[in-house]
Structure 1
Amino acid sequence: MMDIIVDNVSKSYGEQVVLKKLTVRFPEEKISCIMGPSGCGKTTLMRILLGLERADEGRVEGVPYGKISAVFQEDRLCENVSAIRNLKLVSEKDEAELRREMEALRLGEAFGKPVRELSGGMKRRVAILRALLAPCGCIMMDEPLKGLDEETKIVTAGYIRKNAKEKTLIVITHDRQDLELLGADKLLTLA
């Protein structure tokens, strides 16, 4: 792994300029947070880093394509299968290990339920867990703690911190409290 470098990246949608000559470095194996108002380009930047969109100009280096995991604004889970089956899509851990991981995020009761029957907060935690269990060196998360009550947010942030060690973690958030809970090493504020 190496630092992820964004160099003079610009992106527009028609006449709307979303990113203009953005240059930033996301340090390897650190937690970086991106903050800013709605519509300032946070999610667009993440989509460019993931290779889902192309920048109009500039370059991106150091993204370990093929070894990257993501949590999007929507949970993007397989709704008709259980939470455990969603985790097995990316992890070779056995069911007992997966159950322990789920219980660490207070998801014990969700183990065998179809995802469509889970609450929004439970779905969010399953999506986070799936991203963390995937074999990867870099994880990108778009508003991972949204919709969680305070106590669950604290537990989940601690779990993310613990399980993202030795990985590059890039998190989009609107909430300053998330920076503290995640122990962010770097903050990028987009205007």
Structure 2
Amino acid sequence: MREILIENLKICYGSETVIDNFSCSIGLNDITAIMAPSGRGKTTLLYALLNLISIDGGRISGVPESISVVFQEGRLFEDFNAYNNIFALMNKRKTGITKHEIQQHLKELNLLEHAEKKTREWSGGMKRRLEIIRAVIAQSELIILDEPFKGIDDKNKEKVIDYILKNRRDRGIIMTTHNKSEIGMLNARLLEF
């Protein structure tokens, strides 16, 4: 089984140790939910997996090169419509996707009627759903979701969870959350620290 191995991880911000002596393995075909109180290092751990921050001790191995991410803070191109937001990412990854295929994904998450509008005109929940679509349709080996359901109402959250489960194609998913019901709905392995 392919997995990410984290051994004795230590990460500090200045003199403050955020993660200390943390070890675990994460299966690359599993859905893993990281749960911890605010400020305990969930996002920091994701950033370390993405090699966006340096670590102060320990080792991380087995992280695939191809990762799609939904960051906690939005990363859409606000002056682009839904199609261009998706095409921009797919062109960077050299992935062929048609407008018709994008429409099917947008329709699943109730975004098709807004697809031509610039995303700066969208609500936070709509933007979040589009970011999830971008992450899911990218042909990556791993999907990382940092607080993916932030700003999404309960009705749409169920649709998004169904969408993720339907379209993940046995790829690993690592997500952060504060909500145990989301973990249950995704049938995710819980990783607490």
Match of 1:143 among 140, 143, 147: 147
User: Which position in structure 1 is the counterpart of 2:167?
Assistant: 163
CA distance in 2, matches of 1:90, 1:13: 31
User: Which position in structure 2 is the counterpart of 1:77?
Assistant: 76
Letter in 2 for 1:23: S
Question: Does residue 99 of the first structure (1) align with residue 98 of the second (2)?
Answer: no
SS at match of 1:4: strand
- Aligned ranges 1:40-55 → 2 under 5 Å: 40-55=40-55
Question: Does residue 153 of the first structure (1) align with residue 157 of the second (2)?
Answer: yes
Letter in 1 for 2:107: E
After superposition, the CA RMSD in angstroms is 1.1
Deviations, residues 131-159 of structure 1 (Å, cap 9, x unaligned): 11112000110000111111100000111
TM-score (norm 1): 0.95
Contact preservation (8 Å) 1:137, 1:166: no
Question: Does residue 180 of the first structure (1) align with residue 184 of the second (2)?
Answer: yes
Per the TM alignment, residue 2 of structure 1 is displaced from its structure 2 partner at its CA by 2.0
User: Which position in structure 1 is the counterpart of 2:116?
Assistant: 112
User: Which position in structure 2 is the counterpart of 1:122?
Assistant: 126
SS at match of 2:59: strand
CA distance in 2, matches of 1:145, 1:120: 10
User: Which position in structure 2 is the counterpart of 1:2?
Assistant: 2
Per the TM alignment, residue 90 of structure 1 is displaced from its structure 2 partner at its CA by 3.0
SS at match of 1:90: helix
- Give every structure 1 segment of 4 or more consecutive aligned residues whose post-TM-superposition deviation is greater than 4 Å: none
Residue ranges of structure 1 left out of the alignment (5+ in a row):
none
CA distance in 1, matches of 2:165, 2:15: 39
The percent of aligned pairs where both chains have the same amino acid is 39
CA distance in 2, matches of 1:72, 1:172: 10
- Matched residue count: 188
Letter in 1 for 2:153: D
Judge which range, 94-103 or 1-10, deviates more. Answer: 1-10
SS at match of 1:127: helix
Question: Does residue 19 of the first structure (1) align with residue 23 of the second (2)?
Answer: no
Per the TM alignment, residue 23 of structure 1 is displaced from its structure 2 partner at its CA by 0.2
CA distance in 2, matches of 1:86, 1:158: 22
CA distance in 2, matches of 1:89, 1:29: 27
